[in-house]
Amino acid sequence: MFKQLWNRAKNRWYLSSVNRWGDGILLLKRPSIENKGLLTIGDRTQIRSDIHRSRLAVQPGAQLVIGDDCWINGAMIAATQSVRIGNHCRLAPFVHIMDGDFHDLQDRALPGESAPVVLEDHVKVGTRVIILKGVTVHRGAAIAPGAIVTKDVPPDTLVAGVPAKPIKKLEAYSDSLI
């Protein structure tokens, strides 16, 4: 009983800068959260930092939305405009998701380009994957470890490589048990 109360108090402290979080959030070790925009986390999402510290950064005017039943383990997500992660997504350690360049390539004092990043429902992202600005990873897709994703990923497709390219079609995900 005391341990549950202690974990709730710890979670409230760690999530104090989050705008809205759902029920049943599980934090394993302390994530790094810097929120200057809008950050929401869905129900039953796990943010783990046991292998590598999870880092969530939201710049002013930007939004980061994480859906229900997600598993984020040591990923770094930076939003300068918009990053949306759907329901039932899995992010392995050392994943980097960035929707912007943060600074101009010619003049570092100027802001860089940015474009929204979207991970639809049931997406799986392997270790050390980098997802860059303007990418949509469609429902049921999987990204192999070490890939750099620069273009949209079709639904129910495994992509791999640098830059990531389709490797094979996956069985379509179904919510039904039959």
Mean pLDDT in residue range 21-44: 92
Whether 130 maps to a domain, the answer reads yes
- Per the domain annotation, does 2 fall within a domain? no
Cα separations (Å) of 7 from 4, 13, 19, 48, 113? 5, 10, 19, 14, 40
| pLDDT band of 11, cuts 50, 70, 90 | confident
Q: Is the pLDDT of residue 102 over 80?
A: no
Whether residue 133 is contained in a domain is answered as yes
pLDDT attached to residue 178: 40
Q: Which residues are catalytic?
A: 103
pLDDT in tens, 112-122: 788 999 999 99
55-74 burial, b for 16+ CB within 10 Å, e for fewer?
bbbbbeebbbbbbbbbbbbb
Kindly state whether residue 136 falls inside one of the protein's structural domains.
yes
Answer whether residue 115 is part of any domain.
yes
Q: Classify 134 in phi/psi space as left (phi over 0), alpha (psi -120 to 50) or beta.
A: left
Can you give the C-alpha Rg of the chain in angstroms? 16
Widest CA span of the chain, in angstroms?
Answer: 57
Classify residue 99: in a domain, yes or no.
yes
CA atoms within 13 A on the CB side of 159: 27
Identify whether 40 is part of a domain.
Answer: yes
Whose CA is closest to 146, among 74, 76, 93, 100? 93
Q: Using one digit for the tens of pLDDT, what is the confidence trace for 134-176?
A: 999 999 999 999 999 999 999 999 999 999 999 999 987 655 4
pLDDT confidence of residue 29:
87
Rounded CA-CA distance 76/79 in Å is 10
The token duo for 74 is 């040591």
| Residue 93, domain extent | 21-168
Q: Provide, rounded to the nearest whole percent, the portion of the chain with pLDDT above 70.
A: 90
> Residues 49-78: pLDDT tens digits?
988 999 999 999 999 999 999 999 999 999
Residue 146 lies in a domain: yes
DSSP secondary structure of 15-48: TTT-SEE-TT-EEESPPEEEESSEEEE-TT-EEE
Total domains in the fold of the chain:
1
Q: What is the CATH number of the domain that holds 159?
A: 2.160.10.10
